[in-house]
C-alpha cells in the first residue's frame, strides 16, 4: 500500500465552522501502513455491520434470507436455500403431456393434455402420494394453461383442439363450469395466479405477446410481453405478480428470456442458463423453479432444473427423467413435476422436489 496524504484544519472561525484553507498537511510513510487481511479479522466492525446482526450463537429459528455475524466463531452466516433433489411420487393414471395444472405438491390438479389429437378432457387430483380421476373438463384440449391454489380451486384457459380456443373453465373441487372466454384464442400460453385473480400471456396465435388479466369474472387485455413466444414457462401468485420464462419465439429457435410482471407491465430480467421451451414451472415471481423442456437442434429433451431468486437463475439437480412438456405445481422448495414426452411415449411419471433451507457460512470462495 502506498503513502497516504493527511489534511487537517488549522483553525475554527466564527460560528464554529472549520477553516481548512490554510490547513496543515503531511504524508504518512508507507512503512507505517499495513495491508488489512480478512484472515486476521477477529471482530466484525460495527460500522460495516449496519443491518447485520451480531450474535454469540446462531439463531434457533432463522428466517429465509436472514444474515448474521457469529461473534463466537467469527463467521458471517446466512439462512438460505441448499441443494434440492427429486424423488419418485405416484404416477398419473394416464400417460400424457401438454396439460394444464394447478395447486401444491400435496394438493395438485392436472387437466386436459394429449396424446389424442383433439385433446383430453381428463382431470386428475394429487393428494401427496397418488392421483385420482375426477370429473372431466367440458372441453377437451391440449397445450392448455391453468392456475389455482390447490386441487379444490383452479382455472383452465386457452388450448388447442383443431383450432385455438378461448374457453375458460373454473373448478370448484367437484366439477368444471364454463365462465367468460379469453379475448384471444391461443395455445401453448403461460398462466399464473388463482381462480379469482389470474394472468394469461403468450401463446401460438398472433399476437403471441398478448397478456390478459382475469378478475374472477372476465378477461381484460393489458400490456404485452416484450417478446412474444409460446410453450412458455410461467408462474405467479395473482394478476399483479408473475414471471414468464423461456419459450419458442421464432420456430424452431428457443429463448432464455425472463420477464417479470408488476401488475402493469413486463420488464426483462436475468435469462435462464439454458434456452428452452416446453418446461414445467412452480413458485412465485421472486422464488421460482423451471424444469424439463427441450431445445433445438434435434429436440434435445432435458431434465435440467433451474432455481430463480428474484434476479438470476441457478442450475440445480436434474429431473430423474428428462422430458419435454411436463406440468408443474407447488413452490420453489416443494414442487411437483408430472407427465411429459420423452421422444417415444408420453409418460405418467411424477417427481417430487424438495429443497431445504439451511444455515450456511459465507466464505471468500
The per-residue pLDDT for range 57-108, each reduced to its tens digit, is 988 878 777 888 999 998 898 877 788 999 999 999 999 999 999 999 999 9
Q: Are 91 and 350 in contact (CB under 8 A)?
A: yes
Q: Which residues, 6+ apart, have CB-to-CB distance to 253 below 8 Å?
A: 296
The confidence score (pLDDT) of residue 365 equals 56
Domains of the chain, each with CATH number or no CATH: 15-81 (no CATH), 85-355 (2.120.10.80)
Give the separation between CA 46 and CA 42, rounded to whole angstroms. Answer: 13
The band of 38, judged by pLDDT with boundaries at 50, 70 and 90, is very low
Q: Which three cell numbers, joined as nine digits, stand for 280?
A: 414445467
Secondary structure class of 141 (helix, strand, coil): strand
Q: Which three cell numbers, joined as nine digits, stand for 292?
A: 424439463
Question: What is the rounded average pLDDT of the residues 304-327?
Answer: 97
Which of these, 288, 280, 275, 281, lies nearest to 248 by C-alpha position? 275
Residue 14 phi/psi, 5-degree rounding, is: -55, 140
Choice between 70 and 27, residue whose per-residue pLDDT is larger: 70
Q: Are 254 and 188 in contact (CB under 8 A)?
A: no
pLDDT at 37 over 50: no
Secondary structure class of 217 (helix, strand, coil): coil
Q: Which residues, 6+ apart, have CB-to-CB distance to 17 below 8 Å?
A: none
Alpha helices in 255-310 (DSSP H): none
Q: Which three cell numbers, joined as nine digits, stand for 82?
A: 441448499
The residue behind cell 428457443 is 254
Secondary structure class of 58 (helix, strand, coil): coil
- Across 9-47, b (16+ Cβ under 10 Å) vs e yields eeeeeeeeeeeeeeeeeeeeeeeeeeeeeeeeeeebeee
The confidence score (pLDDT) of residue 332 equals 96
pLDDT at 7 over 70: no
pLDDT at 119 over 50: yes
pLDDT at 233 over 80: yes
345: left (phi over 0), alpha (psi -120 to 50) or beta: beta
pLDDT at 176 over 60: yes
Which of these, 318, 324, 302, lies nearest to 351 by C-alpha position? 318
pTM score of the predicted model? 0.81
Flag the least confident range among 114-118, 191-195, 236-240: 114-118
The confidence score (pLDDT) of residue 32 equals 55
Q: Are 203 and 210 in contact (CB under 8 A)?
A: yes
The confidence score (pLDDT) of residue 50 equals 58
Q: Are 193 and 227 in contact (CB under 8 A)?
A: no
Interval 121-159: pLDDT, tens: 999 999 999 999 999 999 999 999 999 999 999 999 999
Amino acid at each position: 500500500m502506498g503513502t497516504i496524504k493527511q489534511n487537517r484544519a488549522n483553525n475554527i472561525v466564527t460560528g464554529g465552522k472549520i477553516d481548512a484553507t490554510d490547513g496543515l498537511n503531511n504524508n504518512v510513510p508507507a512503512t507505517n501502513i499495513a495491508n488489512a487481511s480478512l484472515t486476521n479479522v477477529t471482530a466484525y466492525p460495527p460500522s460495516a455491520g449496519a443491518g447485520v446482526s451480531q450474535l454469540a450463537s446462531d439463531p434457533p429459528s432463522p428466517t429465509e434470507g436472514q444474515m448474521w455475524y457469529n461473534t463466537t466463531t467469527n463467521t458471517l452466516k446466512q439462512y438460505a436455500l441448499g441443494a434440492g433433489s427429486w424423488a419418485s411420487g405416484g404416477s398419473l393414471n394416464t400417460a400424457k403431456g401438454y396439460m394444464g395444472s394447478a395447486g401444491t405438491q400435496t394438493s395438485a390438479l392436472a387437466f386436459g393434455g394429449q396424446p389424442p389429437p383433439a385433446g383430453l378432457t381428463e382431470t386428475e387430483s394429487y393428494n401427496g402420494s397418488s392421483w385420482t380421476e375426477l370429473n372431466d373438463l367440458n372441453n377437451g384440449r391440449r397445450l392448455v394453461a391453468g392456475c389455482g391454489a390447490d386441487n379444490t380451486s383452479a382455472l383452465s384457459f386457452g388450448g388447442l383442439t383443431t383450432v385455438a380456443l378461448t374457453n375458460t373453465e373454473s373448478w370448484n373441487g367437484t366439477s368444471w363450469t364454463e365462465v367468460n372466454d379469453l379475448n384471444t384464442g391461443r395455445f401453448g400460453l403461460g398462466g399464473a395466479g388463482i381462480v379469482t385473480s389470474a394472468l394469461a400471456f403468450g401463446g401460438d396465435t398472433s399476437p403471441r405477446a398478448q397478456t390478459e388479466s382475469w378478475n374472477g369474472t372476465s378477461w381484460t387485455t393489458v400490456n404485452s410481453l416484450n417478446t412474444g413466444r409460446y410453450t412458455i414457462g410461467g408462474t405467479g401468485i395473482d394478476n399483479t405478480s408473475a414471471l414468464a420464462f423461456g419459450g419458442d419465439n421464432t420456430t424452431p429457435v428457443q429463448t432464455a428470456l425472463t420477464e417479470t410482471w408488476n401488475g402493469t407491465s413486463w420488464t426483462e430480467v436475468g435469462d435462464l442458463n439454458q434456452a428452452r421451451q416446453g418446461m414445467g414451472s412452480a413458485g412465485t415471481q421472486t422464488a421460482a423453479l423451471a424444469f424439463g423442456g427441450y431445445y433445438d437442434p434435434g429436440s434435445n429433451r432435458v431434465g435440467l432444473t433451474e432455481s430463480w431468486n428474484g434476479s438470476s437463475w441457478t442450475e440445480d439437480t436434474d429431473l430423474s427423467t428428462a422430458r419435454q412438456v411436463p406440468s408443474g405445481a407447488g413452490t420453489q422448495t416443494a414442487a411437483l413435476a408430472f407427465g411429459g414426452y420423452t421422444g417415444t411415449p408420453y409418460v405418467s411419471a411424477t417427481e417430487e422436489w424438495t429443497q431445504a433451507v439451511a444455515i450456511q457460512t459465507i466464505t471468500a470462495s
